[in-house]
Each structure stands twice: as C-alpha cells, then as structure tokens.
Structure 1
Amino acid sequence: MMQNSTISHFILGSYLDLGYEKYLFFSMVLLLYMLIVATNSSLVVLICVTRRLRKPMFLFVASLFVNELYGSTGFFPFLMLQILNDVHTISVPACYLQMFPVYTYARVEFCTLAAMSYDRYLAICCPLQYSARVTPHRVLLCICLMWLYSFVRVLTTLCLNLSQLLCGNVINSLYCMNYLVAKLLCGDLQVINIYGLVTTTMSIMLPLLLILYSYLKILHVVFSGTNQARPKALGTCAPHIVSLLNFSFGCIFQVLHTRFGMSAMPDGFRIFLSLYFLIFQPLINPLMYGMQTSQIRETCKHVFSSKTARIGQA
C-alpha cells in the first residue's frame, strides 16, 4: 500500500485545452476503439470456430488479437474519459491500475511476436520436424507462460514503486507511465531507475534477438533454395515483419520520449507518437493477418459469401 497519504492523485500535464473540439476528438477515439474491438474480436472468433484454422501459427495470431483487445480496453476508455474532463487528474490507485494493462500489453506483444518468428523458423527451416515439435498443446502452454511471465514482471515493477513515498504529482503525459511516476518518488531512485532500464531493455532486446536469429536462419534457407519457394516463404513472414517493425517503432519512440523528453518536437506530433503503439498496432494487425494470410482471407470470404447467400434466399 502507498505509504504517503498526502498525495492522493496525479495531474496529467500533456492535455491541451480543446474547448468544444473535445467532443470531436472523443468521437474519433470512440470510433477507433469500436473498430479495434470489431476487427480483432471477429478474427478471434473466426479462428476459434473454424477447424482448419486451429493450427499452431493461428493460435499465436489469435493470442495477438486477444492482446490487442486487452491493451485497447485497458487504455481507450481511460483516454476517452480524460478527453471529456476539463480537469485531467487520476487517483494514485487508478494510475497504477491503468499502467498494468498497458505495460503487460507491450510485453505480451513482444513475446508473442518473438514466438511467432521462431514458429516460422521451424516451419521453413525444419519442415519435416515441425508437426512433431510444434503441437497445439505446446503452443497453448507457451501462450499461457508468456501471459503469466508478462503479468508477473509488470506487477513486480509496479509493487517496487508502490513501496516508495511520493514527493510530486505532475505527470507530463496523457496517461500514467512507470518511469514518469518513478521520477516523482522520494529518496534515492538509483535502484529503481536501473531496474526499470534493465527490465525495459530486456523486454525489448531479448525478443528482438530471438526474432533476428530466426529471420537470419530463414533468409539463409530461403536464398539458398529454389527460386520457386522464395515468394511463398517470404509471403508467410511478411505480416509478421510489418507488425514487428510497426510495434518496435512505437515502443522505441515511447522509451526515448519518456527518458529524454524530446521537448523540441511540436506538442501535437509528440502526443501522436506517444499514442502510436497503442492505436496503430491493434489496427494494423487485423489488416495484415486478415488480408495477407491466405487461409484467414479465404475463410473470411467463405463466411461472407455464405451469409450473403442466406440473406438472398430469405
């Protein structure tokens, strides 16, 4: 429990005075959130109810879509509430509660992308062993462990902050961020800063190293094989590469922004980039995997054509 009872809330200092335009921005954010929920939940249901999609790769994809729903639901309602409010404050417990889904979302995303890259490596580089080494049971176990690991790591970090006293309450951000809250703690923060920097680096670098290793192996096999096999092999990796680059860009900017400020940037552009990984990743993933993955695309066409035929017969 927080030891300091004198500070009960944080002030979010990055909100601009929008006037009546706040209703326009609220409507835009609401539409984005509804689009994210509709697309991601539809694809999760499609994968769950379609027998031909109950394969290891698509189980990872479903986990990715569930994570987009989880992260968006942990963030968008809070953002919409703040847009409508004239005073942008949040209680200390609510601040930590809001940080938890955002940070676990980021960790689960990187872990899932790393696992998917290794899955593609095994499928392309070890095709004869793939079915034996990658089973649905093992994939489900891997997904559960990734989510559990992310929850425990984030909870440990937040509890470390909760054990300290607060000496300030102004956060220069649109939402609560662990590093910015840690800067407001009293006393010697060297241990917390080092721990936060190490865990952040590990959360990004370790998955990226596994991804880099997997794709170097994939490229070696693809370009040492026949020309006919290259387009198919690279095509199965394309959605994953786009998703990875998009999310890495958003997270790396967020780390640089919180650590170094980047006050030279215009406010609007800085706010846009600070929200990038929370908004565009949940929008891009359904588009990339739904449109570029042939089995999901064909299943969507089949479902849509069947519903159209039923409506025509009614």
Structure 2
Amino acid sequence: MASDPFNHPNSSSSSFILVGIPSLEASPTCLGILFCSGYIITLVGNGLVLLVIGLDHSLRDPVHCFLGMLAVIDVVMATSIVPKMLSVFWMKSTEIGYVACFVQMFLVHSTTSEESGVLLAMAVDRYIAICHPLRYQTILNHETIVRIGLAIVVRALLFMVPLTGMVTSLPYCHSRVVPHSYCEHMAVAKLACADPRPSGRYSVAMSSLIVGMDMAFIAVSYGMILKTALGKKSCRKAFSTCGCHICVMLLYYIPGIVSIYAQLFSSSVSARAQVLLADLYLTLPTMLNPIIYSMKTKKIRQAVLRMLFSRRVHA
C-alpha cells in the first residue's frame, strides 16, 4: 500500500487509513463475525419495530413514537460504522475518503447525542404515564412530540456543526493512519499538524454537559416513578420496567463516559481498550434496545405476534 498520498498537504481528495482495532489486526475473521452478527440483529430488531409501528395504527401513543425514533437512530448509528468496519476486517479496504471520514464522524457523534435525548424523552414519558396518568394525553400530544423530536435533532446539530468545522479546518499534513475502527473525532484530530486541543476540549465539555444533564433528568424521572409506585399494586411492574430500562441506559452511558474521558488520559489507557469501548457503546445498545424496550412493551410484543401469526396462517 503506497503511503505517499497520505503525507501530502490537506485536500478534499486525500484519504485516511483506518487501522481497525489496534493489536487485534490478526483476528479479522472473528471480529468481523462478531460485529456482523450484532449488525444483523440490530437491523432485524429495529426494522421489525419500525415495521410494526408503521403498520399497526393502534401504536400511535407517545411511547411508541419515541421507540420509533430510537429505532431509526440505532439503525443510522450502526450503519454509519459497521459496514466500513467489516470492509476493514474482511476485505482489507482500510482507506476512507476525506469527505466520507468527516461525514461518518458527524453521523456517529450526532446520533449519540440524539440517542441520549430520546432516552431522556422516554424516561419523561414513563414519568408522566405513571405519576400523572390522567394528564398523559394532554401533556404529550402530537405537537409536543414533534417539538421534542425537533429539539433533540437541533441540539445534536448545535453540538456537531461547530465541532465538525473545527476538525475540518485543521491541516492534515502528516500521517493519515487513524488508530481506530471508524473516524472518531479525537483519533482523527490528533493526526493534524496543528494543535487539536481546542476541538478536544469543546468535545469533552459539550459531551459532558449533554450526558450529565440527560442522566440527571433521567435519574430524577425514575426516582419519581419508583416513589409514586411504592406501595401500589403496580409497584412490581414499575420496578421491572424501570430495571430493564436502567440496565440498557447503563450499558450505553457507562462505556460512553469512559470512552470520552479515556481520550484525556490516553497514556494510561491502551489504544485497544479505547477502541473497544468506543465500538461497544455504539453497537451493543443498538442491538439490545429493540429487545429490552420494544419487546418489553406489551402492545408491540402483541403486534409482532399478530403479524407473524397472520403470515403463518396465510402461508
């Protein structure tokens, strides 16, 4: 593989080279099977949720709208990284174009912000449904849901547009080898021959603000739910629902937080651990979300069974 093109000054025709997972390059088949299996489960699970919500007109409650948003975000998030990862692992297609790299970066980091926003919206939805059931339809009407969706997207754009501008304006005149399996922000910015710390500080500060605020509101929402449910007949059901939701959130937030701050202390965290953590928090929740959230939702579970049963009968 020629290295000359990657030492030229920054231009839109330049490319980057993705390493994959550092120190695990010798196991491409196993890694490919692992991520491919997870990606198939993600597509099938989230696709089934979207299909059922789209076909069944009884699934128009706010919670189902939020589940639909989550499914779309999960598909975009996984699709933005896994196909390219598989081409790196299986076909040794490690090159990614300059524009494609930054588009991938934008999609990855914007969808992580949107995912966090939808998780918060779902926690608030459950809080209103359990603590204020008589006002549920009034508070979470169609216009409110649309506004929440727009706010989630706008927040992600307000975070990512400045960050993308900061990273694309850096000159890349040295190595183009990205020690990562996708175009992660800091992994790319560190290749610049100018100081990448301003974009790094901005990314960490905004990520901490978004995650910190969302987690705080989610914790308050579930705390109020459990407080309201204690001593009632619905207590066991509320604990079961909240427990499943909280487990998925921890699987999403903990690797994400560790991954963010591992970038600041890269000397004490191996490159392999950093990449695996980043891959974990982008791929594992997208696979588990349709199982935990949607299949634990009674109406969606019944709609899936009806769809499968009617198809079997007609067959």
**Quick check: 1:273 aligned with 2:280?**
no
Task: Report the residue type matching 1:63 in the other structure.
Answer: M
Match of 2:72 in 1: 66
Separation in 2 of the partners of 1:155 and 1:40?
27
Residue number in structure 1 paired with 2:183: 176
Q: Tell me if structure 1 keeps the 8 A contact 2:18–2:88.
A: no
Instruction: Letter of the 2:234 partner, please give it.
Output: A
> Which has the larger displacement, 106-115 or 299-308?
299-308
Shift of 1:293: 1.6
Inter-partner Cα distance in structure 2 for 1:159 and 1:283? 31
Residue of structure 2 in register with 1:22 after alignment:
28
Aligned partner of 2:5 in structure 1 is none
**Residue 239 of structure 2 corresponds to which residue in structure 1?**
234
After superposition, the Cα gap between the structure-2 partners of 1:24 and 1:151, relative to the gap in structure 1 and judged at 3 Å, is same
CA distance in 2: counterparts of 1:262 and 1:43, whole angstroms? 42
Q: Give identity over the alignment, percent.
A: 24
Cα distance in 2 between the residues matched to 1:270 and 1:285: 23
What are structure 2's unaligned runs of at least 5 residues? 1-8
Partner in structure 2 of residue 153 of structure 1: 159
Indicate the residue corresponding to 2:310 in structure 1. 306
Shift of 1:240: 2.4
Give the corresponding residue for 2:255. 250
Q: Is the 8 A contact 1:7 1:166 kept in 2?
A: no
Alignment of 1:93-242 (within 5 A): 93-168=99-174, 169-223=176-230, 226-242=231-247
Matching residue's letter, 1:306? S
The C-alpha deviation readout for 1:277-299, integer Å capped at 9, x for no partner, is 12211111111123322221122
Relative distance call for 1:310 and 1:262 in structure 2 (3 A) is: farther
DSSP 3-state at the match of 1:275: helix
Q: Deviations over 1:67-116 (max 9, x none)?
A: 11111111111111111344734332221121111111111110000111
Whole-angstrom distance in 1 between the partners of 2:133 and 2:78: 36
**Is there any run of 5+ residues in structure 1 with no aligned partner, and where?**
none
Q: Quick one: distance in 1 between partners of 2:163 and 2:141?
A: 33
- Would the aligned equivalents of 2:62 and 2:145 in 1 still touch at CA under 8 Å? yes
Shift of 1:28: 4.2
Deviates more, 1:254-263 or 1:37-46: 254-263
CA distance in 1, matches of 2:93, 2:296: 44
What is the distance in 1 between the residues matched to 2:223 and 2:280? 28
Q: Which moved more, 1:63-72 or 1:4-13?
A: 4-13
1:285 aligned residue (283, 289, 292) = 289
Deviation at 1:6, TM superposition (A): 10
Q: How many residues align?
A: 305
The aligned amino acid for 2:145 is V
Aligned-partner SS, 2:100:
helix
Out of 39, 46, 67, the residue aligned to residue 40 of structure 1 is 46
Deviates further, 85-94 or 204-213: 85-94
Between 180-189 and 169-178, the greater mean CA deviation after superposition:
180-189
The verdict on how the C-alpha distance between 1:266 and 1:110 changes in structure 2, with shifts beyond 3 A counting, is closer
Q: Which amino acid aligns with 1:256?
A: Y
CA drift of 1:123 comes to 1.4
The answer to whether the 8 A contact 1:15-1:88 is kept is: no
Distance 1:170 1:230, change over 3 A: same
- Residue 41 of structure 1 aligns to a residue whose secondary structure is helix
- Normalising by structure 1, we get a TM-score of 0.86
Is the 1:289–1:296 Cα contact (8 Å) retained in structure 2? no
> Is the contact between residue 259 and residue 274 of structure 2 (CA under 8 Å) also seen in structure 1?
no
Following TM superposition, by how much is the alpha carbon of 1:142 offset from its aligned partner in structure 2, in angstroms? 1.3
Q: 2:248–2:288: 8 Å Cα contact kept in structure 1?
A: yes
Q: Aligned partners of 1:188, 1:17: CA distance in 2, in Å?
A: 29
